Amino acid sequence: MQLIAWPEPFVRSLVDAGFRVVRHDNRDIGLSQGFEHAGTGNLVWQTIRQKLGLPVQSAYALQDMAKDSIGVLDALGIGRAHIVGASMGGMIAQRIAALAPKRTASLVSIMSSSGARGLPGPRRDVGAALLRRPAGRSEAELVAHSLGLVKLIASPAYPQDDAVVAERIRVGMRRAYRPAGMLRQMIAIGADAGREKVLPSISSPTLVLHGDADALVPMACGVDTARRIPGAQFVAIPGMGHDLPPEAQEIVLDHMIPFMQAAEAKS
């Protein structure tokens, strides 16, 4: 997801609590460097290889994306930070915490996974939607296609107006529409085998948050993440899917802010 996917009210709440918030586009998405020279890869074939336990060939690794994030901290002169990530960002955040423990004041992994084999995958209809192509290439058709997927994985307890969600999708597409980059990122997730083996080495205070209605990354994936990180706290959020509607943002922040403040006080 692009950096603008973090809702502005969510960011403002963190700033109001005294935190400096740094967001950035991961490589190959938004306004960051693209990797078109690496080709797009075949998601279906690489997914089959992953399920068979075979190596997945990707243009880059989540470890590389973790190093990108550390590079952002270096460029800004930030020695230590609370590392927060959602979905793929949570996986990258886990890699950062394992790779740079002295730079990690705390780790917050939201709607993410340990990547361990045997964990449940997306609900069947969600998996099919991920592989489906848009009906056409017009903005309206692309927005409708994305809206269909977003509605499948949205929080059932906190429904949002279709027009509001569609406008958010439209704003993101007008900023940067890079489907090939998203495809390469999805393949990189599949290629990140063995991440669960490094999770026990994470020593930073860790909070794992997951919705119990997540149809893309089932809650069992978050439970497994917390189980593997020493001392990690796990919080299940009833009715939350794979998104951050306003009501869910408040719940997440109610857990995140005191957790990070406590971690800061101990460091």
CA R_g for the chain:
18
Q: Is the pLDDT of residue 266 over 80?
A: yes
Predicted confidence band at 193 (pLDDT cuts at 50, 70, 90)? confident
The pLDDT value given to residue 52: 62
Amino acid at 196: E
CA-wise closest residue to 209 among 230, 229, 225, 192:
225
* Percent of the chain with pLDDT strictly greater than 70: 97
pTM across the whole model: 0.95
Q: What's the average model confidence in pLDDT over 131-148?
A: 96
Region 3-266: CATH code: 3.40.50.1820
Q: What is the C-alpha to C-alpha distance for residues 183 and 41, in angstroms, rounded to an integer?
A: 8
Q: Is the pLDDT of residue 152 over 90?
A: yes
Amino acid at 77: G
The pLDDT value given to residue 228: 99
Over the stretch 23-45, which tens digit does the pLDDT of each residue have? 999 999 999 999 999 887 777 66
Q: What's the average model confidence in pLDDT over 217-244?
A: 99
Amino acid at 21: V
DSSP character at residue 200: G
Q: What's the average model confidence in pLDDT over 153-179?
A: 98
- Helices 179-191 and 62-76, packing angle to 10 deg: 110
Q: Is the pLDDT of residue 49 over 80?
A: no
Structure-model confidence comparison of residues 190 and 32, the more confident one: 32
Amino acid at 137: R
Structure-model confidence comparison of residues 154 and 43, the more confident one: 154
Q: Is the pLDDT of residue 171 over 70?
A: yes
Average pLDDT of the chain? 95
The pLDDT value given to residue 206: 99
DSSP character at residue 101: G
**CB of 85 within 8 A of CB of 52?**
no
Domain ranges of the chain: 3-266
The pLDDT value given to residue 45: 63
Q: What's the average model confidence in pLDDT over 92-103?
A: 98
